[in-house]
Structure formats: structure tokens, C-alpha cells
Amino acid sequence: MGSALAEPQVEDEEGRRPSIGPWRLALRRLLRKKLAVVALFLIGVFYFVGFFAPLVSPQDFRSQDLENTLLGPSFDHPFGTDRLGRDQLSRVIWSARTTIIVTVATVVAGSLLLSVGLGMLSGYLGGKVDTVIMRTGEAFGSLPALPMLILINATMRDRVRGWVDGLERNMSTGEPAFLVLFGILALIAIIGVAAWLLESRRNGGWIAISIVASLFILALWGMQAVFATPGASDYFLIFGALSLFFWVGSARVIRSQILALRETEYVVAARSMGAGTWRILANHLLPNVSPIIIVGISASLGAIAGSEIALTFLGVGVHDPTPSFGALIFDGGTSQPVIRNHPHLLIFPAVVVGLLIFSFNLLGDALNDVLTPKAR
């Protein structure tokens, strides 16, 4: 009889266990995939080394030692030296920083702001908005991407460099306009937090204003960090050109999902209760398309990194003195004598690039299996 009384108690305890959320469940499934974990580790090492390149780099990537040119791998120079005696390991590390800056900026501008924003607006609003957005996307999609990127980088370089150099002078010398903007954003963030704390019924609008202002402050600090690296104008030009072409495909996929979701019962109910467009998009539609967004971003990271490397390899990307994998691969594979006599100039940057793009592809496949309902 005691065991009979114990069984319902065990069932009640199991019933009280909190259910696992979908994102935590997806993370558990992702961590069970060994290849995905290896890919995450390699990507994490690459981004850590790139972000902390000034601290991790053993030498200055610009320092030349003409007495020790074209040395093979050694204890002092694990990746050898190039034709000017520069340490190849330091140049590979700073090339990772270049790839990270261009990739992250392109993902934020193209894959998030343009593709997600325009795709959701096009699918939900329809009508003329849908027509304008999709016809613009078709115009960009009909153009050959790589030749257009080469054309934009070749023709707009001097003009963009002038704009960025002027902005860099304003930020580095502490112009009053920049200081006033920074102070206003900081004041808005402080007022938002204070109003949120002093209110009796904690309104989320105040803390949202504070978060937005803080994000702008972080963006300004990030721009200063970019400007501290040589080649800032090349970064802006490349990620701006890449953003124009990498949003079209993702926007089409998101639009098709929004078209199917906007007539569902919960969206119709929210609309009938007076919910506005932005609230429906943020609270009801965005969470349902977020798995597609994550998979699309993970799949595009490798393509964006490869495009930046290809542009630099062709001579219209990042220029000296800023190192890039495209320039390193070009220098190491210019001729057969160089490849035959000094293979380390090509092998090390090519292996790093290959591992990075391969890791992005493995991670994209794993996320597709984990987040796509049909694959479960």
C-alpha cells in the first residue's frame, strides 16, 4: 500500500518539473553534434584571436627585417617571414581581425537590418511597399555580384576614403559635434534608467530608450576601435558594397514566411485587439522567423568572408598596410618559384581560410538540422 501511495507522488513531482524552452532544447541538440562543437571551437578561436590581435600578435605586422626575409617556420617566426621580413604569424592574426570587422559589419547591415527589416515589412504590409522592396531586390539580384563589387570598390574608393578620413579626424581630435552627440546619448541613457527606477509601475519604454542609447554609444566606441586600425576606409567601402547584394536572398525567404504567418489566428487576433504593426512584427512574427534568420546568417558568414578575401586577392579590397588573407594568398601564390621555394607563404593563410569557411559550413548545416522543424 505504501508503494501505491508513492507512485502518484512521483508522478506529481515529475509534473511539476519546468518544461525546457525551445532555445535551450536547440542548444542541447547542437552540443550533441560533435562536428558542430568542433566548428564552434574553431570559429571561437578565430574570433578571439582576431578581436584581441593587438595583444595576441607577437610582433608588429608592419615591422620589416630585411636581413631575415623569406625565412621558413622557426621558433622565432612560427609561420616564417615574407619577402620584406615581416612576421607571417602576426600578419595572419591581423588578417583575422580584418575578416572579422568586414564580416560582422556586413551581417549587421545587410543580413539583419536590410534583409530582416525589409523582408518582414514586405511580407506583412504587402501592396506598394511589397512591390517597391521586391522590385529593388530583383534589380540587385539580376546584377552579377562579383563584377559589381569590383566596379564599386574601384570607382568609389577615393570618395569613401575622403569621407572616412574626415570622420576619423573628427572622432580622434575630439570635435565639439562628436562630443556633444556622445554626451546627449549618455544623458538619454541615464535619464531612461532613472525614470524606469523611479516609476511605480516599471514602464518598459524607458528602459528600451536607455538600451537604444547605450547601443549607439557602444557603436561609437566600436567605430573608434575600427579607426584605430589602419585601412578603416577600406572596411567601410567593402562592407557597404557587400551589404547591397547579400540582403536579397534572405529577404525573399523571410517575406515568404511572413506571407504565410500574417493570416494565422494569433496574428489576426492581435490585429483585432488593436495591436500596431510594429508590435505584431516584433512580438508575434519575428520570434517565428528567428530560426530561419539564424540559419541564414550562419550560412552567409562563410560567403561574406570569402567575398572579402576574393576582392582583396583581385586587388580591389583591403590595401596595404592593412593585412588581409586575400593579400597573403596572392603574395604566396604569385608564381611557381615562390610556391616551390617558399610554400609557407601560401600554406598557412590558405589553411586558416579553409578551416574558417569549412567551420561556417558545418555550423550552418548543424543549425539547419537543429532549428528546422522538418529536420527534427
What CATH number does the domain containing 237 carry? 1.10.3720.10
SS3 87: strand
Query: Mean pLDDT for the chain?
Result: 79
Give a yes or no: residue 198 inside a domain: no
Torsion 267-271-273-275 (CA) sign: positive
How high is the pLDDT of residue 312? 87
Contact 216, 185 (CB under 8 A): yes
Average pLDDT over residues 357-367: 89
Any domain includes 349: yes
- Please tell me the distance from the alpha carbon of residue 48 to that of residue 57, in angstroms, as a whole number: 12
State yes or no: pLDDT of 12 exceeds 50. Answer: no
Inside any domain, residue 193: no
Q: What are phi and psi of 81, to 5 degrees?
A: -130, 160
Q: For residue 319, how far is the Cα from the chain centroid?
A: 22
**CB-based burial label for 254 (10 Å; 0-12, 13-18, 19+):** buried
Number of domains in the chain: 1
Q: Is residue 366 situated within a structural domain?
A: yes
pLDDT in tens, 237-248: 788 788 888 888
pLDDT of residue 224: 53
Q: Where are the alpha helices (DSSP H) in the chain?
A: 2-16, 22-31, 34-51, 53-56, 88-106, 115-125, 127-142, 145-173, 176-198, 204-227, 232-246, 248-261, 265-272, 277-280, 286-313, 325-332, 336-341, 344-371
Q: Which of 160, 105, 167, 168 is nearest to 316 (CA)?
A: 160
Q: Tell me, yes or no, whether 14 lies in a domain.
A: no
Separation in Å, CA 163 to CA 18, 108, 169, 176: 55, 21, 10, 18
**Domain of residue 152, residue span:** 23-58+78-162+231-375
> What was the pLDDT predicted at 79?
92
By mean pLDDT, which of 11-15, 218-222, 232-236, 337-341 is the weakest?
11-15
Residue 184 covered by a domain: no
Q: How big is the chain, counted in residues?
A: 376
Is residue 10 a part of any domain in this protein? no
Beta bridge partners of 87: 81
Instruction: Encode pLDDT of 270-320 as tens digits.
Output: 888 888 888 888 888 888 888 888 888 888 888 889 888 988 888 877 887
Helical packing angle, 286-313 and 232-246, nearest 10°: 130
pLDDT digits (tens, 9 = 90+) for 99-120: 988 888 888 878 788 888 889 9
Domain presence at residue 268: yes
Task: Give pLDDT, residue 2.
Answer: 47
